[in-house]
Amino acid sequence: MAAYNIFHRLKIKVFRRSQLYYTPILFGLILTFLFGGCAEFKKNLKEGLDQFVEDLRRARLEDRNDAIKKYNYSGRETEIIIDSLLITPYSIQPGEKLKQELIYALLSPQEKKKFIVAESVVLTGKGEKIDLFINESEKDQGVHLFALKLVIPRDIEPGEYNLLSTITVGNVTKTVKGIFVVRE
């Protein structure tokens, strides 16, 4: 019952079809609690939920049909549509973590097409250009969330910086700029 309440409070629907992959992880955590004690349960729950959240960050938020309606897609060519970029906090100190969340859509005239997507983040400003992240993966059409926690270098000078987040599919590239401040 305690495990159910935890999952219910965290709004994790264990048996939703898109989350069946996670069901064994969740049941494993429940069994660990029942047979392994509370301290080990908390440790395993944290590890399991961290992995669950990380997988959701890279998950598709909406399918192709929803994205077509949402963005009024014409269906003539492959498109990357940038929806929103959120960078938090706006003001940080060197060595602290910065969170980036980019929502974007991938659409193609071919209904079943999958994409090889390159996601990258570059820090620029004050004469600096630092590649912070690059990843390539296969994605379905639809709306996706590209979320990262980045550690800002400890030796960076105070001032205003740009975080350039780029999505590339074949020869189609979209880059969006977010701004943050490094304080002393």
Residue 82: CATH number of its domain: 2.60.40.3880
Residues 149 and 83 in one domain: yes
What's the number of domains the chain is made of? 2
**How many other C-beta atoms are found inside a 10 Å radius of the C-beta of residue 142?**
19
Residues 8 and 84 in one domain: no
pLDDT of residue 47: 66
Cα(100)–Cα(165) distance, integer angstroms: 9
Do the Cβ atoms of 165 and 121 come closer than 8 Å? yes
φ/ψ of residue 95, rounded to 5: 90, -10
pLDDT of residue 104: 96
pTM: 0.67
Interval 141-155: pLDDT, tens: 999 999 999 998 899
- Residues in the chain predicted with pLDDT less than 50, given as ranges, are 1-22
